[in-house]
Copies of this chain bind each other. A is one copy, B any other.
């Protein structure tokens, strides 16, 4: 029972996975909120029009794509956008997406 959640390394992040992860409105909203609030965000506090299990599904998709870090803290999950890694791999990508009005 490795208690830690699995994340891809910086070099394992694939552009297709990142784009697919951010192409969903719910996930895009999650990432925008995490980025806006900064530092670590208790993922459960971000309002979403979906149930808990769907939220879990989206958070896993973002984590596995390498878009966010997720760590456990008590019964909560703290999420952080992997800005450093994404900026290193794809300079300008994250800013372009997050600042896009839509």
Chain A interface (Cβ < 8 Å from any Cβ of B): 14-16, 19-20, 22-25, 28, 89-93, 95-97, 100, 102
Would you list 26 pairs from A and B whose C-beta atoms are within 8 A, ordered by A residue?
A14-B102, A15-B28, A15-B97, A15-B102, A16-B23, A16-B25, A16-B28, A16-B102, A19-B19, A19-B20, A19-B22, A19-B23, A19-B97, A20-B20, A20-B23, A23-B23, A89-B100, A90-B96, A91-B96, A92-B92, A92-B93, A92-B95, A92-B96, A93-B93, A93-B96, A96-B96
- The complex places the Cα of A28 from the Cα of B25 at a distance, in Å, of 21
CB < 8 Å neighbour of A15 from B90, B91, B93, B100? B100
Q: Which residues of chain B have C-beta atoms less than 8 A from A24's C-beta? A: 16
Q: Which residues of chain B have C-beta atoms less than 8 A from A97's C-beta? A: 15, 19, 90, 93
Q: Which residues of chain B have C-beta atoms less than 8 A from A15's C-beta? A: 28, 97, 100, 102
- The complex places the Cα of A19 from the Cα of B94 at a distance, in Å, of 12
CB < 8 Å neighbour of A100 from B22, B28, B90? B90
